[in-house]
Structure 1
Amino acid sequence: MSAVLVAGSDGGIGRACVAAIETAGTSAHGVDLSDGVDITAPGQVEQALAEATARHGRITGVVHAVGMSGRFLGDGGVAECTDEAWHEVHRVNHESVFRLLRAALPALPEGGSIVVIGSALGTSVDDDFRTVAYASAKGALIQLIRTAAREAAPRGVRVNLISAGLVATPMSLRARTSASVKARMPALMPLGAAPCLPEEVAQAVLWLLSPSSGRTTGAVIPVDGGWHLR
């Protein structure tokens, strides 16, 4: 038996990933803060991997779908962002990926795959999405996954990142209902001019977990409706 560990399985994208993985015939071992598993805390990723391995026999893939917006803590422009927002957003969106990679890279077998959910804001700047802590944390993930991919490649383990655009999840509700954002959707995401569905992101994740992407590592795959074309 084998399985894929999905961190953040109760979130919009994480839940869709679990469904896609199981529909494809592979077991998904979901963990989330709501279940008492906080992968942002020391030792929690290692514990989650150990429990998943004990239950399923072998873990061949890992998905990081944990994330947070820091608006409620004061994330905003550089001159506005609070210390609390900066530290907490980086801890959850950036540091937790480091903790997951550090634990998972040596644990996965040859052919293993790690997929991290990033954001189009990691490589773009937009006045309607001016959140320096969030954007910088997501931007830092690109070099983090590239470094991990280079280290893991000799062992046949792959690490990739999905650069997601605006996705229809509870976390993006404020942005999706903003009059300014709604009016600009044809320019922000010209391919469909609407937020992506979590299921669309999950299908890209599924491909990166599969042998079909066996020669792809260290890549940033956009699932953003054309956001990156601006």
Structure 2
Amino acid sequence: MNSTTGLSGKSVIVTGAGSGIGRTAALLFAAQGARVVLADINAEGTEATAEAIAVAGGTAVTAIGDLSDQEVVDRVVTTAVDACGGIDVLVNNAGIMDRMSAVADIGDEEWERVLRVNLTAPFLLTRAALPHLLATGDGAIVFTASEASLRGSAAGAAYTASKHGIAGLTKSLAVTYRDQGVRTNAIAPGGTTTSITAGLDIESHGVGVLGKYMVNVGRRATTDEQAAAIVFLASAAASNINGVILPVDNGWSAV
């Protein structure tokens, strides 16, 4: 795979690298020879990812904090530039789930937090990283969207709105910066075995409100399957792929 990815020696930021898809993607980038900046609010998980990369002979540095905070965003970018010499790839993967609530049941705090973490934070980091991505002449951005960015029945209203926003941001970036050498794509995971739904009250929200719409979802993916799609979209193998929202959902989006 190294011969086609073109990732060896590249500087890659992966958000949400402390667990789940982000951790697996970071490990895979490092295995391809990339230098990885691990960004996450979860210090313990992020350090564990860094240790796993180091044990495998890879290179990683950490940047801990809430990515909805501009100061943290600036620190992530500075870390990438200082430790890795720039930014070649940005993976905006970090996100949180809502409580699977319909619009009438969402409080202001839940709505604002989900939108802040899932949409505003990736925007802030992308804006800060763009000058460095543009400087490479061959940069790549990959977002983690969701099946919820493709339909209205895959999550609660706040999460769905945030992920539709990610799809729109992906396409806007793709068109705006394609002639300057930056490609932007997203994966749209279906059900995946991660910890993102931890603490979800499915009896009062998911099943009661939206469960009847969730049919033919297919099997749950592994984080390896999602990470492989992320690395592909960031790699030289996808050099003419731009503006794509790639479902990684075992055909759920085809139903």
TM-score range, shorter chain: 0.7 to 0.9
**Residue 169 of structure 2: SS of its match in structure 1?**
helix
Question: Matches of residues 28-107 of structure 1 in structure 2 within 5 Å?
Answer: 28-35=36-43, 36-71=64-99, 76-107=101-132
Q: Does 1:118 align with 2:138?
A: no
Match of 1:24 in 2: 32
Q: Root-mean-square deviation (CA), in Å?
A: 2.4
After TM superposition, the runs of 4+ consecutive aligned structure 1 residues lying more than 3 A away are 172-175, 177-182
TM-score, scaled to structure 1: 0.87
- In 1, Cα distance between equivalents of 2:74 and 2:235: 23
TM-score, scaled to structure 2: 0.79
- In 2, Cα distance between equivalents of 1:113 and 1:43: 23
Give 1:217's aligned amino acid: N
Give 2:172's aligned amino acid: T
Match of 2:159 in 1: 134
Residue identity (%): 28
Cα distance change, pair 144–186 in 1 and its aligned pair in 2 (3 A): closer
Match of 1:164 in 2: 189
Deviation at 1:185, TM superposition (A): 8.7
Which residue, out of 177, 181, 187, partners 2:216? 187
Deviation at 1:228, TM superposition (A): 0.4
- Alignment check: 8 A CA contact 1:122 1:136 kept: yes
Deviation at 1:218, TM superposition (A): 1.1
Deviation at 1:172, TM superposition (A): 3.4
Number of aligned residue pairs: give it.
Answer: 220
Deviation at 1:46, TM superposition (A): 2.4
Question: Matches of residues 193-212 of structure 1 in structure 2 within 5 Å?
Answer: 194-212=219-237
- Alignment check: 8 A CA contact 2:13 2:38 kept: yes
Give 1:114's aligned amino acid: I
Task: Please list the CA deviations of residues 89-136 of structure 1 after superposition, one character each: whole Å capped at 9, or x if unmatched.
Answer: 00000111111221122211111101000110122133xx54100011
Deviation at 1:148, TM superposition (A): 1.2
Gaps of 5+ in 1: none
